[in-house]
Each structure stands twice: as structure tokens, then as C-alpha cells.
Amino acid sequence: MAAKTKKKKWTASRILLSASPLFLVVLWMVTPNDSAFKQSATWQQMTEPGKLSAAHASLEDDCAACHTSVKGIETSSCIACHANNQSLLQRQPTSFHAGISSCIECHREHRGFDQRPTNMDHEALAKIGLRQLKSDALDSENNALREEIIARTRGYAPPHSRITTAETTLKCATCHANDDRHFKLFGQDCAQCHATDRWTIPEYRHPSATSMDCAQCHQAPPSHYMMHFKMISARVAGKPHARVDQCFQCHQTTSWNDILGAGWYKHH
Amino acid sequence: MKEKERLIVTGLVALMLILWLGFPLHRSPRFAGSLWGGVFGVVGSLLMIVPLLYLFIKRIKRLKKKVLKWVSMRTLLSWHIYAGVLGPILVVIHSGHKYESTLGVVLTAMTLLVVVSGFVGRYLMNRFSQEIREKKKILSKLEAAYEQTATVLASEPERAQMLQPFSGFFGRILAGLFVHESNVEPIGTQSSQAVDPSTVLHLSESIADIEYAIKTHTTFKAWFGKWLKFHIWISFVLYGLMALHVWGAIHFGIRWFDPWKTSTSYYAHSTVQGVEAAAPLAAPPNEEQSAAAVDSFSRHFGQLFRKYWHEPIAIHGIRTTAFDYKGIANEVGQPGSDFFKARLALEQVAPDRLGGGNAEKTFWINAYNFGAMKLAAENYPVASITDSKISDGNPWGIRGVRVGTEQYALHQIENEILLKKFDDPRIVFAVSCAAVSCPDRTGDIFSADQLDRQLDDIVRGLLANTTKGLAIDRQLKTVTLSWIIKTDRRLFGDGGDNDLLNFVLRYAPSDVRDWIDANRSDIKIKYFEHDWGLNDTALADEKN
């Protein structure tokens, strides 16, 4: 057999294939400079894991506003815009922001345009605090404090299943002191009963509806200590001789306004 | 052995396809970026690189020779197959909890496509070839039987006659219905060899069927013949996308890999006075961190300066270099801009650890100039930094620029730091209030290693400018000097006209110097009015 001459056939696909770089160059040249095709943002957005929230939507085209190459989100990038928020820093429940060193744990982005980038995460807060105590500790005092906290929580079972060990290291009163409905009678260790996702306690059961020790926890409103009590309240309930500390004489456990014998009654 | 492999791989591919469908059942937008998600992703991708080995070893002869001493091609192929299926399974576990980014979706789809194409090529293609081989065997048997029957039939023309009516196209289709085995009695002595004509029909029909089947399979085979090329091509596209994905993950920051996570509360805390922070203060930056911050400040301020610097133009009839303040103002609120980064860097400098000498002198001069520029840019548009929008007349007293944890005023930087620490009258020319009458600048900020030359140049430049630095009237014998020299005359020797002229002579252009030298005794010194107008390119006089 004669040696085959290696002559490639110019099939349509081969022509197309060899012309493709030229095609790309031409395509690049004919597109205007300001077209989306030529913006690095367009290409970077291919990797975007979800839309930014409405508040940050203006940064959609500027990944570098928040992302430092390799290092990712640096707290300083956030602070650049969010420093000096006086009202936030001076309000007791939110003043902890002044000393916090990390934002992304609670302020997650790329979750969609209509998602506010805020999720209070007490666990994250506790961890940031412990981390901070460690990295800030040029003086031994911080380190000792951290060691003590860690030692105290090591092998420490949380008081109930709705709170984590890390969360119990937080001092609730730093942020929540203004709102103690127990008038400090139960102390300041809220975590003994409360969880961090809500104040109500699902396990709580009110004492028996026939219990007569209401005053152990409840206190009558100011009007009950005035003439109003004898003239209106006691009379409406049909209990003219009831004493102020005998709540059970008139009130029922469904609601304070559910008056025995009178039904739902709201005077004011 | 092969049967077992096929069974396992089929199971794995099916698992992969099912895993992908797990998305509606479990969604977790943060899984892929978590530590475990990362472990799945990284291990999966590494496994996905293993199949490349087979590709290269098979095609590079020298390599193949060497490798074959240790492992057989068969073993390599099974590595190729198992790694090529297990990798994608892990990768799908990594990615399958969320499909949001374009790259992610395309990447997952490509992964599935590559695996499925490989699977089809390896196992289904194989099936076709096998099938064709078997069919061909049957076909040759049938053909032999047909030959034999036809020969026998040819010796009995009466029987052959019976098939005559069915030689047409439609007739042939219907022949099976009319020609029955019992139609004709065996005739003659050769009855033992007698052949029923219907057998011929059955045989020919079977042959036709099988030939058709073979043809179909061959077409399929040809169609799939290009699968290997296809498989290789799309897998390279996949590797390309994978590289982009890995780049993206590293570039935008991997969440679980963060060795830089250090406390920055030091800065956050000190932005607000009067609020007690819950957490303890961080230590101030050490020497090294501070030096890095100074570098960063110089770099970004330098870039900002160069970007918006403009060669001399006339503003209010005065020739001056200018800046595009509108451009600078645009950078003020823009995170990531040079202005922003310069500002942030300043906040990370420890003012008491600057190390003295030219380095410290340069830093404070630059910080002053940045501060002045900042006043104008943050309040832009303004006609001057003395604008009422900025202050009620004393912009130098505003603590407008933060270095480390403290807010500094321009006055403080100039008089309490620079002039107190450094005995150098040229400083007052170098610190600029962003005004038209201030000395002209080159496009560069001051740098420590060239500071002396730069300071000389700036004084020389001012005295060469006859609209704001130094003008002489040879008739009236007057020398008009910059207002700056008058204001800070205490810095030039004892502050008398003589010392003042001595300073001027050192830097003035040579012809002026000669003339002043010659007429020194009866020269009268006057001063320019200082124009506080902003040296803003937007304020340039109309060109005629």
C-alpha cells in the first residue's frame, strides 16, 4: 500500500475550530468598552453565591468593596462604612458593637435581596468574645479571665437544653438589664431559665388555676391601691369584700381581664 | 471481574445522579463553604484530577513505558473509573445543597455530564460491540442454512414454482400468509431431502431482521464512536471551570481558613467616645504593624495624589498645579478606594512609634496634606477649605484627620509636631492648605528617602512662580514674596528682612538672585495677597 499522505481535509468543523480564536478576538474588538461583557464585575458575578441584601445592593458590582483578595471579608471593610454609628453604639442593647471584632458571624450576606443581613447569634457572640480575649491578650489579665471562663465551662452541662455552654458565658445583663420583669428577684443569671432565641419559656406551666399564692409572683396595678378598687373593680366583679392581695377572688388564669362571673372585662 | 466492576460503577453513577436530586430535600446555603463542605469539595476535586493520569500515561509513550513496569494499563483504567466516579460523588455532596451561582450550576452540570459520558462510553458502547459480534455469528449460521436450502430447492422446480407469485414487493410481504408447509405433498424419491419452500421464506425473513438489527447497532456505534473525543473535550472544559471555581473560592476568601482573623476592636472601639465597650481594649499596634500602616498610607495616598493631580493651570489669574477634587470626593464614600484605604491605614498608625528622622517628618507632612485634602473632599463642593461649610473660619483647628486612635487638627500637626520636632523652615511650604496660593506640587507625595531634595524643589518651585511666589519689579525695586514667607517669618533666622532675603536668595532663580544681590540695599519687600481658593481643576479660569 502506498504511504498515506497526511493531508487534512478542510471540513466545516475544522474550519470553524481554527477560526474560533480569530472570532473571539473580533468579538472582543467589536463590543463597546462599557458593555457588560467587558466588565470584570460581570465575570466575577458568575461566582456570586446569592444576591446581596437591599441595603448593600449598590455594591453588587464591586466585590472588592468587601472582599479582600484571599483574606475574604475583613472587619475593617465593614467598619469603613459602619463606624461611628452613634445611635447604635449608645443604645444599651446594641452598644456591644463598640467592642466587637467581627461582623460576618451575625451579618451574613448573599442570602437574597429581600433578606436583612442580620441574625442575632448569641453563640457566635460568645465565641467572638473568647477569641478576642485570646488575641487581645498582650496583658496577662485578659488571658487569665479567658482561662477562668473556659475552665468554668469545661465539662459544664448547660442548665437546660435550649442554651449552649458557650452562651452561658455571656453576661445577659450587659445588654438586657433594662428589661427585667422579675425586678432582679431571680438574680441576673437569665440563662438558668431563658434561652437566647426567645424570652418565653416553653416548659413553663402556670401553677394550678385554683392556687391562691398569686402574690408570690404578681403584684396588683397602682389603681388597685386607690379608691378605684373598691368603687369599680370589686363592684364589677361582684366581690365587694375582696382584698387586693386575693387576686384569685376575681381573676382567672386565662387572662387578667377574664373576671370570674363578669366575663371578659376591660374597663379602660 | 469485569461484571463486578460494571455493577459497582453503575451503582455509584446512579448514586451520584440521585445525590444531585437531594437538593430539594436538603437546602443549606452555607454548607459548601463550611469546613466539612470544604473537605468534601477539596477531596472530591483531588480525586477528580486522578483520571488525568490515565489520559496522559496512555498518550505519552515514554511515560507509558516507564509506568507499565509498575502498573498495568488495566489497573490504571480502573483507577480512572473509580476516582472518576467517587470524586464527583463527593463534589456533588459538596455542592448539592444550593444552586445559586452561575459558575456553581454549570460546574455541577458539567461534572455530571463528564461522568455520564464516561459511563456510557465504557459500558454501553461495549454492549453495542458485543451485540454486533453475537448477531453476526447468528447471521452467518442463517446464511449457511439458506444456501443449503436454496440448493435443494433448485433441484425441485415445481416447489420453487410456488414462490413465483410472491416475487413482487408486496407479494413478498404477504408470502408468509399463503405458503404453508402442508401445501404440497413431497414428490418423488428424494423425499428425505425434501425442503419445504416456507422454510426458505422464514430463513430469508430472519436474515433480513438480523441484518437490520446489525445495521442499527452499527449506526449507534458510529454515532457513539466520537464519545471518547467528546468525553475528553468536556472534561477539559470541566477542569477549566474547576480552576475558576477554586480561584474564586480562594480570591474571595475561604470562610473556614482564616489565619488573619485578629481582633480589630481597637479601632472600632475608639471611634466613639463616651461609650464603655463591653470587651477589653486591644493593644495598640506594635512597631511593625505601625510601619506597615505607614507604608500602606503612603501607597494609597500616593496613588490618590497622582491620579487626581493636574499640571499648572490658572485659577483667579494665579498659576498653580491643581487637583480634581470631584474625583477625590467620589472616592470618599467608596470602600476599597485609595482615599478610603489611606484613611483606614492612618488609623492603624501608632503616632509614638514613627521612629523620628526623615521618616517621621515625611509621614506628618503627608498626613497634613491628606488631612487638608480630606476636609475639601468630604465637604465638596467648596470654594476653599476656609468655606463656612467646613468651619466658622478656622479649618486648621478642626480635628479632622485621625492618626491611630486620636483625631488631629492641621494646626496641631504643623505647629505641635512638625515645627516643634524639626527645625526646618521648608516645612511650611510643604504643608499645603489645598489653596491656589500654596506652592506647586509635582505628581508625587513626599517620600522619606528623597525628602530633602523634594523640599528644596518645592521652595524653588514657589519662588520661580511669578504669580504667587516671587515677583520683582526692576523699576520700582520691589520684591513681592509669598504670603507664606511673611506669615512664618519667625522661622527664617531672626525674622528680619535680611534673613528673609537670605533664605529667598538660596532658592530663587539665578537672574532674580543676581538682581537682588546687586540692589540689596534699596529693595522694598512686598507680599502677595494669599488666595485661599481651592486649587480645584473645576475652578480653572476660562481659557482665551
ipTM summary value: 0.71
Quick one: average pLDDT of B434-455? Answer: 92
Domain assignment present for A135:
yes
Domain assignment present for A104:
yes
Residue that is last in its domain, among A177, A205, A222: A177
> Residue B272 above 50 pLDDT?
no
Please check whether residue B283 touches A, CB under 8 A: yes
What pLDDT was estimated at residue B172?
63
Residues A166 and A94 in one domain: yes
Which residues of chain B are within 8 Å of residue A174 when distances are taken between CB atoms?
278
User: In b/e form, how buried is each residue of B111-134, taking b as 16+ CB within 10 angstroms?
Assistant: bbbbbebbbbbbbebeebeebbee
Amino acid identity, residue B495?
G
Q: Alpha-carbon distance A35 to A40, whole Å?
A: 11
> Residue A268 above 90 pLDDT?
no
What pLDDT was estimated at residue B448?
92
What pLDDT was estimated at residue A139?
55
Residues A165 and A219 in one domain: no
CB B13 within 8 A of CB B20: no
Domain assignment present for A39:
no
Q: Is pLDDT larger for residue A214 or for residue B197? A: A214
Residues A116 and A171 in one domain: yes
Please check whether residue B263 touches A, CB under 8 A: yes
Domain assignment present for A18:
no
Cβ contact, residue pair A77, B336, below 8 Å: yes
Q: Nearest by CB to A84, which of B30, B272, B283? A: B272
> Residue B20 above 70 pLDDT?
yes
Q: Nearest by CB to A67, which of B253, B262, B283? A: B253
Q: Alpha-carbon distance B287 to B258, whole Å?
A: 24
Q: What is the pLDDT of residues B450-505, one digit of tens each?
A: 999 999 999 999 999 999 999 999 888 899 999 999 888 888 888 788 888 889 98
Q: Alpha-carbon distance A39 to B367, whole Å?
A: 34
Cis peptide before B51 (omega within 30 of 0): no
CB B472 within 8 A of CB B351: no
Please check whether residue A62 touches B, CB under 8 A: yes
Q: Alpha-carbon distance A262 to A108, whole Å?
A: 52
Quick one: average pLDDT of A218-244? Answer: 89
What angle (nearest 5°) sits at the alpha carbon of residue A263, between those of residues A260 and A265?
A: 105
Please check whether residue A178 touches B, CB under 8 A: no
Amino acid identity, residue B443?
G
Cβ contact, residue pair B262, A135, below 8 Å: yes
- A139, B191, B282 from A143: Cα distances, Å: 7, 113, 12
CB B437 within 8 A of CB B532: yes
Cα torsion B520, B525, B527, B528 to 10°: value is: -60
Domains held by chain A: number: 2
Please check whether residue A84 touches B, CB under 8 A: yes
State the Rg of chain B over Cα.
Answer: 46
- Which of A73, A101, A107, A132 best tests the B interface by mutation, with the highest count of B CBs <10 A? A101
Cβ contact, residue pair A76, B335, below 8 Å: no
Residues A76 and A143 in one domain: yes
Interface of B with A in 288-317 (CB under 8 A): none
CA distance A65 to chain B (A): 5
Decide: residue B498, CB within 10 A, 0-12 exposed, 13-18 middle, 19+ buried: exposed
Give every CB contact of residue B214 below 8 A, 6+ residues apart in sequence: B132, B135, B136, B139
Annotate B307-343 with DSSP letters as a single string: HHEEEEEEETTEEEEEE-HHHHHHHHT-TTSHHHHHH
Residues A75 and A139 in one domain: yes
Residues A56 and A136 in one domain: yes
Please check whether residue A119 touches B, CB under 8 A: no
Q: What band does B276 get if pLDDT is binned at 50, 70 and 90?
A: very low
Residues A110 and A167 in one domain: yes
Please check whether residue A148 touches B, CB under 8 A: no
Look over chain B and give the mean of its residue pLDDT values, rounded to a whole number.
Answer: 84
Q: Alpha-carbon distance B129 to B121, whole Å?
A: 11
Cβ contact, residue pair B254, A133, below 8 Å: no
Residues A172 and A219 in one domain: no
Q: Which residues is B406 bridged to in the sheet? A: B403
Q: What is the DSSP letter of A207?
A: P
Helix (H, G, I), strand (E, B) or coil at B206: helix
Q: What band does A9 get if pLDDT is binned at 50, 70 and 90?
A: low
Residues A53 and A167 in one domain: yes
Domain assignment present for A223:
yes
Residues A82 and A167 in one domain: yes
Cβ contact, residue pair B335, A65, below 8 Å: yes
Q: What is the DSSP letter of A208?
A: P
Please check whether residue B344 touches A, CB under 8 A: yes
Residues A238 and A171 in one domain: no
Counting Cα atoms < 13 Å in the Cβ hemisphere of B255 gives 15
Residues A74 and A168 in one domain: yes
Domain assignment present for A183:
no
State the Rg of chain A over Cα.
Answer: 33
Residue of B490, B504, B400 whose CA lies nearest to B460: B504
Please check whether residue B243 touches A, CB under 8 A: no
What pLDDT was estimated at residue B192?
45
Residue of B295, B399, B284, B301 whose CA lies nearest to B352: B284
Instruction: Express as a percent the part of chain B with pLDDT over 90.
Output: 36
**End-to-end C-alpha distance for chain B, whole angstroms:** 93
Cβ contact, residue pair A49, B251, below 8 Å: no
Which residues of chain A are within 8 Å of residue B349 when distances are taken between CB atoms?
none
Please check whether residue B260 touches A, CB under 8 A: yes
Domain assignment present for A34:
no
Residue of A47, A100, A79 whose CA lies nearest to B253: A47
CB A152 within 8 A of CB A187: no
Q: Which domain holds residue A259?
A: 214-264
Cβ contact, residue pair A79, B271, below 8 Å: yes
Cβ contact, residue pair A63, B265, below 8 Å: no
